[in-house]
Chains A and B, each alone.
Chain A
């Protein structure tokens, strides 16, 4: 499915112009003039341009793509990859956080628990989803669902896409830090396979709180870092607009992070980014999820947990 109403990023301007020209030519051809050749030539050129541009994104551009308003969100992936989805709400304690969604679903017929951050596209939904920034009850809902998955021996698949956990008074009062910390500890010992996908923004502890797993995948143009580029810039350069510089310093792309052996696999995106073709993106991801799940199911429970422990255990660089 091609996404309508493309919104173009700053660096996509040359493509935008070309596509506008194509649209113009197409409207001419309806007047009886055949411009098929000209159009297909331009389309090929646009495709080439897009391929070239997206294979050479700098880190700041990648961060823009990762936050693209039309980028597929958790509910989009659920729609394309899973069947029989039933959304399950609430943490049984305080409320239901709309910045995290989760529920039972089937992937290739097999029941699984799906959990992910959820952002909104239009203003109303953005606010409803709190811009994808969960409160403690979101993390506690996620943990409730994960513990349920463990009881019923269902694999867990999580989709990570958040600027970070919400910094608010209520969030602090209800224990944002405790909610995140508890998830880290509990995800380390759950006895069912966990596959994590960084789909957009992997923003700090708010991302990690649903990102401890046996396999961690990153979409080609997603980002993952200890702090947002803007937040980093505000602290280190005392200038929140130096995001581009901070993005370079933070080394937050999938390639960077694969090199540090924090993720297992990079899932390729369609040319021009996941936002241009949700279905194609979901197909790529579906393949990767199915393959990884098949591998993980071969492991015994103790082997699975010990391998997960060792995986995170060795993530560090130091001299002694």
Chain B
């Protein structure tokens, strides 16, 4: 292990080079450039104590952060994707699934279940961006839909924490249909008068944004999260213009009326609890 790891230039470039906590005892923050003891970032919920930059956080940590201790019960943990189209680019989809599963985290790009927020029972789904870029295929769509249906059955609120590149290409038309399926389930939840809070974290794009993630009664975002329909590169190539400063960041969306509120990670649970209690007319 490197004692000190410079985050630049060895950090891999790409859409997420700014968002992972670099390894090593000391970290040079990719946002403010300050050198910080890595443990201090981790203790601070993966948020830079100097500049408030929100790095990505694991599903496990996210659930610990939002739910009452020990209250989480996972559902459909064993559900796995299948390569029904025999989709192959440089690697087959099956190999990609196997490799992602072998990393030892989740079996697909989402973790779903029930838990309590300050005593209030909720259904919650949390995306795992480290699993194939949080892409949505049949498993993600099915697990979310079951979560919404459980919320309907138990008359609880539904929460989805998104971090996703969008629909999973390797499942082609069926991944597109997950957008319709999850949105249809949310129509039922809405009719039943149960709240849906969509928490948008970095990044939330494509078919995930263009379905449930934008349909929250409350759309709550983390600071500076990239949120959009089309990716910035696609837009730049299409219109051949430079994109405006801060384009598709949470603050930009707030400004354009697309999210209700931006909440720091440390305040997320308290804010969520307060909102849900009012919507559920509880003390």
Contact = CB atoms under 8 A, between A and B. Distances in A.
Interface of A: 165-169, 171-178, 180-182, 184-186, 188-189, 204-205, 208-209, 211-212, 224-227, 231-232, 235-237, 249-252, 256-257, 260, 262, 308-309, 312-313, 315-320
B1 interface: no
Contacts of B78: 320
**B contacts with A: majority SS:** helix
A176 B209 CA distance: 9
A320 B79 contact: yes
9 contacts: A184-B211, A185-B183, A186-B187, A226-B168, A226-B176, A236-B169, A249-B85, A312-B184, A315-B180
Contacts of A257: 173
Contact of B176 (A181, A204, A309): A204
Among A182, A252, A312: residue with most chain B CB under 10 A: A312
Interface of B: 76, 78-82, 84-85, 87-90, 138-139, 141-142, 145, 167-169, 171-181, 183-188, 190-191, 206-207, 209-215, 228-231, 234-235, 238-239, 241, 243-244, 247-248, 256-258
A260 B174 contact: yes
Contacts of B175: 226
B181 to A, nearest CB: 5
User: Most chain-B CB neighbours within 10 Å: which of A167, A224, A252?
Assistant: A167
Contacts of A180: 210-211, 229
A312 B173 contact: no
A236 B239 contact: no
A216 B215 CA distance: 24
Contact of A316 (B169, B178, B213, B244): B178
B239 A188 contact: no
In the A-B complex, the 7 residue pairs with the smallest Cβ-Cβ separation, listed nearest first, are A167-B230, A188-B184, A316-B138, A184-B183, A177-B209, A236-B89, A177-B229
A102 B238 CA distance: 26
B179 A208 contact: yes
Contacts of A182: 214-215
Given A189-B191, A226-B176, 6 more contacts: A208-B176, A226-B173, A226-B207, A309-B184, A318-B79, A320-B76
Contact of B234 (A167, A188, A237): A167
Contact of A319 (B79, B206, B209, B257): B79
A232 B230 contact: no
A264 B77 CA distance: 32
Contact of B207 (A205, A250, A312, A320): A205
A164 B151 CA distance: 33
B169 A226 contact: yes
Nearest to B175: A226
A171 B256 contact: no
Nearest to B204: A177
B186 to A, nearest CB: 6
Contact of A168 (B76, B174, B185, B238): B238
B229 A185 contact: no
A188 B80 contact: no
Contact of B187 (A177, A188, A225): A188
A320 B76 CA distance: 8
Contacts of B179: 181, 184, 205, 208
Contact of B181 (A176, A225, A316): A316
A313 B184 contact: yes
Contacts of A184: 179-180, 183-184, 210-211
A185 B215 contact: yes
